[in-house]
Amino acid sequence: MTKHIDNARAIGTFIARKAELDAMLARLQELSADHFNWSPDEITWGHVGTLGHYVEMLKRITDSAFHEGEHAE
């Protein structure tokens, strides 16, 4: 396989992965805007823990993407 063809495949795969990521981010933004489908009257410490778990997972991603935290240079 030539380098040009391999690079074209890499670009195509990159664009597909980016679209997948963008769709996930859009869904998360919508869910967050709706307070994760929780009304203020039903919020418990369990909800706080769940949201904290989401934050921890996203922090791992942002730390890696922005070279922060354990990924700092």
pLDDT of residue 48: 97
pLDDT of residue 69: 92
Q: Among residues 52, 71, 55, 73, which one has the least CA distance to residue 63?
A: 71
Question: How distant, in Å, are the alpha carbons of 2, 21, 39, 44 from that of 8?
Answer: 10, 20, 47, 49
Q: What is the pLDDT along the chain (73 residues), one digit of tens a residue?
A: 577 778 999 999 999 999 999 999 999 999 999 999 999 999 999 999 999 999 999 999 999 999 999 999 8
pLDDT of residue 47: 97
pTM metric for this prediction: 0.81
pLDDT of residue 1: 56
What the block records as the tokens of 40 is: 């203020």
